[in-house]
Amino acid sequence: MGLLKNDPFFLKTYLSLLESQKAKEDMERLLEQIPSWGIRNEDFYIFLSRLVAKHFGSERALETLKAARVI
């Protein structure tokens, strides 16, 4: 993914595609990596937390936001 991994629009699109393809394992692997990438985009993290809550629960969504140092 190289440079695209820091592009919130690309990541939103890619995660949405994974979701539509029901590729939950791939989505989970990516969601574990994203917080360490240092993306600073509030709208992206709102999207991300909703996606995580929908598929993995609200506690996991909070963990993701904490890992990204958003909260």
pLDDT tens sequence across 3-51 = 677 899 999 999 999 999 999 999 989 888 888 888 888 889 889 999 9
- Per-residue model confidence (pLDDT) at position 51: 93
The total number of structural domains in the chain stands at: 1
Which residues span the domain enclosing 16?
2-67
Long-range contacts at 42-50 (CB < 8 A, ≥ 24 apart): 42/70, 43/8, 44/8, 44/11, 44/12, 45/70, 47/12, 47/15, 48/15
